[in-house]
Amino acid sequence: MLDAAVLTFARRGYRAASMDEIAEVAGVSKPLVYLYLNSKEDLFSAVIRRESAALVAALTAAVEPGAAADRRLWSGLKGFFSHTAEHPDSWAVLHQQARTHGEPFAREVAAMRAEIAEFVTDLIGAAAKEAGCAGELAEREVAGVAHALIGAAESLAEWANARTDEGASGEWEHSSAKDTAATMMNFAWAGLGRLMGGARWTPGGLVDRVGPPGAVG
Amino acid sequence: MLDAAVLTFARRGYRAASMDEIAEVAGVSKPLVYLYLNSKEDLFSAVIRRESAALVAALTAAVEPGAAADRRLWSGLKGFFSHTAEHPDSWAVLHQQARTHGEPFAREVAAMRAEIAEFVTDLIGAAAKEAGCAGELAEREVAGVAHALIGAAESLAEWANARTDEGASGEWEHSSAKDTAATMMNFAWAGLGRLMGGARWTPGGLVDRVGPPGAVG
Amino acid sequence: MLDAAVLTFARRGYRAASMDEIAEVAGVSKPLVYLYLNSKEDLFSAVIRRESAALVAALTAAVEPGAAADRRLWSGLKGFFSHTAEHPDSWAVLHQQARTHGEPFAREVAAMRAEIAEFVTDLIGAAAKEAGCAGELAEREVAGVAHALIGAAESLAEWANARTDEGASGEWEHSSAKDTAATMMNFAWAGLGRLMGGARWTPGGLVDRVGPPGAVG
Amino acid sequence: MLDAAVLTFARRGYRAASMDEIAEVAGVSKPLVYLYLNSKEDLFSAVIRRESAALVAALTAAVEPGAAADRRLWSGLKGFFSHTAEHPDSWAVLHQQARTHGEPFAREVAAMRAEIAEFVTDLIGAAAKEAGCAGELAEREVAGVAHALIGAAESLAEWANARTDEGASGEWEHSSAKDTAATMMNFAWAGLGRLMGGARWTPGGLVDRVGPPGAVG
DNA sequence: GATGAATGAGATTTCATTCAT
DNA sequence: TATGAATGAAATCTCATTCAT
């Protein structure tokens, strides 16, 4: 029943998806939907919660627990892109619908994002420690970078899905998730490394405010 | 009148925003809205086009023409974050509403995004030349990176706006735009430099001059 | 200005014809229409009155004053069919629109019909006298026959116009009006003659209740 | 529910009849009307079809199958006038509204009219054979006469209804239908007889066996 | 437990009509 | 005189939601 809701919300959007259609897609009668899930809002919330949890679970399950920070990020990204590629409707609901139809729903997605942000933040902290991190990273700066990273990943996920829609599906998806994750790593890891090394970009060029010398000009 | 529409669409969402409310906010009668803008769809399109153009104009105006690539990106980002911070409703409409309510609207935003993507792509090309770019960047890789960068910026803009809503406004905004742009530079510039230098991340660590791009194990 | 109204009412119908369109067709501004004719209802009334008068005038002008009754009917019918063929929009307004959009308008057409009915009634009276009419024709019977005759003519006019729309126009119209009038005469005149002769149809066959013998079996 | 629609369409006209009023008259809520009949157009179509069928059925049922042509016409007319007198709203919808509000509806009435016209045409053919018909009736002439006859009957039906509205109702209606049918027979039958006998009216008077029909001077 | 049948509230859109100039 | 600009009122249609069974 929630599956039907995910599908319909993704295809039609929150407002345009009618309870009639959801019930029909689910193969049950409308009053039954109201019996189990009290209202359209509740139904949408339930959908968001379930899909959020599934995405977070996929991400969490994908990371290799004891590995180095870069490998943990790499495997997490692979998990994320695989999941969004394999469940495009779910991703569409979370990424597009849930954030555009009122505060209550947006908050639920924000919570999911916060969870992922925490995962990324921890990762950065671990990486800093591994790197014998010289510079102390301001909490606000780390949060900003985490959000940037997440946003980049989301954007890439959407872009990859759009490309997949046009082309074939199936086996390709898997390799696509890997490629996308690689692009993310190439884009993000060097910047993270620099940051942890204490280097900062300024209008005058990259400078090393703290830590061992050796900054790139 | 378009201002009222921007405000209402941002606060309520496309579907939930009623023409009644828009007219009321605009301080005119509903038939007048229909006289000038033929339908709700047309009104939304007009809003999207105006706000898109404004955002692109702000970005374009902000970038320093003859400067080095990093400064160009830096100034462009400042322009972008300033505009999104000063016009949060406009940004909400473009980023959240316009992309989730039907192909026609999504296409208009996609066009704007493509324009920005081209700006970023050009920038990457220029930076590569400046850096005496060793590696040849595959077109698809550049496109991916551009999308990642844009997504990161969008995400940061949203994040910054959300923080601003809670805190004070005014002067802080300006510095906030600068801070956000700095975060973006720190996050993105080093990664771009690496990439242009031909370095690639692989599961085994960073390597220089690996084979054809996209062939990660 | 009334011409524009006739055209628009005929093409669109009373309700679907908007004052905007009428004003545009007339080549004047809407307030001007309201200045001369106070409201849509008044405008429609004015149209009906003018077209009614024109039709009655055409009919009246067509009859040969001193001729025998059958020639008077014949010439009147020719006038009627010519007018309706030459002014199809006018006829459409009178025959179709005016009778279907509320009592007030229907009354105006009823008045025109009454005028024509009187013309026919007089004619029947004259014919009766000419024929040395034996039977006294009940007033109600004459009225009924007059309405039947008018209805038949109206139906033929519509039918003829519909055929003309499909085929060519111009010269043909005139001969068509003659043909149609001839059909009417062939259909109606014999019946009228019988009636005036006092013959009546009964379930048992035609009987001569009054007057000279010689009824057709 | 269709009854309510018939009543309202007849009283107000197609455009002026609001779905609100129809629902109220039917004693149900508006959405229910839309549930059973999808739109105002569909509702009107359904009404036209039902009332058309009822009228044709009444006419068909009334005619005595094996009787002579004049009796068949007589009984058919009685059936027609009885039905229109007993269901004045139905008749108003068919005769006035359905023909003036757009092609789709007009076509449905035209189909009904065609059915009746065929009945009349057959009748004329039968009468011609019975009368040992001398003259060959041109197809176009027969069609014209059939339309004239139908128009006369329609006009009489309307006239009779208008008179009934003013006067009393009940028993009188029945005798009225008979009277009206008698008027029609008196008006039409003699003319038909003449026509079948080959007689034609010309501006010079009635002549027998003139040349090809339609060639009046 | 499950549903067919029904509705209140509200959406977009149109149009006859009027001022201020 | 003539009109550009504006609106009150009402139309069709949709949908989340609920009883009676």
The contacts of residue A134 (CB under 8 Å, 6+ apart) are A197, A198, A210, A211, A212
Whether the predicted pLDDT of B170 surpasses 60: no
Judge whether D12 lies within some domain. no
pLDDT score recorded for residue D26: 93
Categorize the per-residue pLDDT at A186 as very low, low, confident or very high, splitting at 50, 70 and 90: confident
Q: Are the C-beta atoms of D161 and C176 separated by less than 8 Å? A: no
What pLDDT, on the 0 to 100 scale, is given for residue B213?
46
DSSP C138: P
- Per-residue pLDDT tens over the stretch B29-55: 999 999 999 999 999 999 999 999 999
Average pLDDT rounded to a whole number, residues A182-189: 88
Lowest-pLDDT choice from A91-95, C15-19, D184-188: D184-188
- Mutant choice from C147, C166, C175 vs D, greatest count of D C-beta within 10 A: C147
B-chain residues near A214 (CB < 8 A): none
Confidence band for D215, pLDDT divided at 50, 70 and 90: very low
3+ Cβ–Cβ pairs closer than 8 Å linking C and D = yes
Q: Say how many domains are in chain C.
A: 1
- DSSP letter for B131, please: T
The mean pLDDT value of chain A amounts to 85
**A34-58 tens-digit pLDDT:** 999 999 999 999 999 999 999 999 9
pLDDT band at residue D208 using 50, 70 and 90 as cut-offs = low
- A91 inside 8 A of chain B by CB: no
Q: What is the mean pLDDT of residues B146-153?
A: 93
Distance between CA atoms of residues D145 and D117, nearest Å: 10
Do the Cβ atoms of B214 and B140 come closer than 8 Å?
yes
CB of C40 under 7 A from strand E? Answer: yes
Residues of D in Cβ contact (< 8 Å) with C149: 152, 187
Q: What b-and-e string marks burial along B103-116, b requiring 16 or more CB atoms within 10 Å of the CB?
A: eebbebbeebbeeb
Q: Measured CA to C1', what is the nucleotide nearest D29?
A: E7
The 3-state DSSP class for residue B205 equals: strand
Closest CA to B74 of B90, B88, B95, B59: B59
Interface check for C208 against chain D (CB to CB < 8 A): the answer is: no
Q: What angle do CA A46, A51, A52 make, to 5 degrees?
A: 95
Distance CA B111, CA C212 (A): 95
The residue written with tokens 């989730």 in the block is B100
Q: Does D206 touch chain C (CB under 8 A)?
A: yes
Q: Which of D15, D75, D100 to mutate to test the interface with C (most CBs of C within 10 A)?
A: D100
pTM of the predicted structure, to 2 decimals: 0.87
Once rounded to an integer, what is the mean pLDDT over residues A87-110?
93
How many whole angstroms separate alpha carbon A54 and alpha carbon A49?
9
From chain D residues 29-68, the ones with a CB under 8 A of any chain C CB are none
* Residue from the list B96, B144, B179 with its beta carbon closest to the beta carbon of A156: B144
Within a domain: B38: no
* B213/A215: higher pLDDT: B213
Range 41-100, chain C: CB under 7 Å to any strand E atom: 41
pLDDT at D115 over 50: yes
Within-domain flag for C12: no
- A175: distance to nearest CA of chain B, Å? 10
CA pseudo-torsion sign D183, D187, D188, D194: positive
Give the distance, in angstroms, between residue A11 CA and nucleotide F18 C1'.
27
Pairing of strands A205-208, B199-202: unpaired
Q: Highest-confidence range of A164-173, A194-203, C139-148, D194-203, by mean pLDDT?
A: C139-148
Query: What is the residue whose two structure tokens read 């005929």?
Result: C10
List of chain A residues whose C-beta atoms are within 8 Å of the C-beta of residue B149: 152, 187
Percent of chain A with pLDDT over 90: 55
Of B62, B79, B109, nearest in space to B184 by CA: B79
Residue of B161, B153, B159, B151 whose CA lies nearest to B86: B161
Residue D6 lies in a domain: no
Give the pLDDT score at C80.
Answer: 94
Domain that holds residue D66: 45-197
Q: Are strands D199-202 and A199-202 parallel, antiparallel or unpaired?
A: unpaired
For residue A212, what pLDDT is reported?
43
Do β-strands C205-208 and B205-208 pair in parallel, antiparallel, or remain unpaired?
Answer: unpaired
Q: Provide the 3-class DSSP secondary structure of residue B77.
A: helix
How big is the CA angle at D106 (ends D104 and D110), to the nearest 5 degrees? 120
In a domain, A59, yes or no: yes
Question: Collapsing DSSP states into helix, strand and coil, what is residue D190?
Answer: helix
pLDDT for the residue B157: 93
pLDDT at B215 over 90: no
User: Do the Cβ atoms of B80 and B58 come closer than 8 Å?
Assistant: yes
Predicted confidence at residue C214, as pLDDT, reads 41
Q: What CATH number is attached to the domain comprising D122? A: 1.10.357.10
Q: Read off the pLDDT of residues A72-86 as tens digits, 9 standing for 90 and up.
A: 999 999 999 999 999
pLDDT (0 to 100) of residue D93? 96
What is the DSSP annotation of D119-167? Answer: HHHHHHHHHHHHTT--SPPPHHHHHHHHHHHHHHHHHHHHHHHHHHHHS
Sort out which chain C residues have CB atoms less than 8 A from D144's CB and list them. Answer: 156, 159, 180, 183, 187
Predicted pLDDT at B134: 54
Instruction: For residue D40, give Cα distances in angstroms to C38, D2, D33, D164.
Output: 31, 12, 9, 31
A13 Rama sector, left if φ>0, alpha if ψ -120 to 50, beta otherwise: left
Cα(A45)–Cα(A48) distance, rounded to whole angstroms? 5
CB nearest C155 (choices: D74, D97, D147)? D147
pLDDT at C215: 38
Phi first, then psi: what are they for A206, rounded to 5°? -75, 135
The predicted structure's pLDDT at residue A16: 92
C203: Cβ under 7 Å from strand E? no
CB C77 within 8 A of CB C179: no
* Candidate from C75-79, C107-111, C172-176 with smallest mean pLDDT: C172-176
Contact residues on chain C for D193, CB-CB shorter than 8 A: 190, 216
Q: Which residue is nearest to nucleotide F18 (CA to C1')?
A: A31
Q: Which of residues D169 and D139 earns the better pLDDT score?
A: D139
Cα–Cα distance measured from residue C146 to residue C122, given in angstroms and rounded to the nearest whole number: 10
Give the side-chain half-sphere CA count within 13 A for A184: 32
User: What is the tens place of the pLDDT at every residue in B99-130?
Assistant: 999 889 999 999 999 999 999 888 888 888 87
More confident residue, D209 or C184: C184
Measured CA to CA, the distance from residue A136 to residue A142 in angstroms comes to 10
Q: Which residues contact C93 (CB under 8 A, 6 or more apart)?
A: C6, C9, C10, C47, C48, C51
All partners of chain C with 3 or more CB pairs under 8 angstroms: D
B10-B12-B13 Cα angle (round to 5):
70
- In a domain? residue A9: no
Averaged pLDDT score across all residues of chain B: 86
pLDDT greater than 80 at residue C154: yes
Phi then psi for residue D16, to 5 deg, are -75, -20
Measured in angstroms, the CA of D49 and the nearest CA of chain C are apart by 19
Name the band, by pLDDT with cuts 50, 70 and 90, for residue C212.
very low
With CB atoms and an 8 Å threshold, state whether B191 touches A187.
yes
Contact A144 B96 (CB under 8 A): no
Does residue A98 carry a pLDDT above 70? Answer: yes
Q: Count CA atoms closer than 13 A to D174's CA, side-chain side.
A: 2
D99 located within any domain = yes
Q: How far apart are CA A156 and CA A185, in angstroms?
A: 12
Confidence band, pLDDT 50/70/90 cuts, at residue C166:
low
User: Given a cut of 60, is residue A174 above it in pLDDT?
Assistant: no
Chains in touch with B (≥3 Cβ pairs < 8 A) = A
Q: From the candidates C142, C174, C183, C207, which should be mutated to test the interface with D, based on the most D CB atoms within 10 A? A: C183
Residue type, position A190, single letter: A
CA distance C46 to chain D (A): 20
- Condensed to tens digits (0 to 9), the pLDDT of residues C84-131 reads 999 999 999 999 999 999 889 999 999 999 999 999 888 888 888 877
- Using a CB-CB cut-off of 8 Å, the residues of chain A touching B199 are 186, 190
Cβ count within 10 A of residue D53: 12
Residue C174 contacts D where some CB pair is shorter than 8 Å? no
**Touch test C–B: 3 Cβ pairs or more under 8 Å:** no
Q: What CA–CA distance (Å, rounded) separates B177 from B191? A: 21
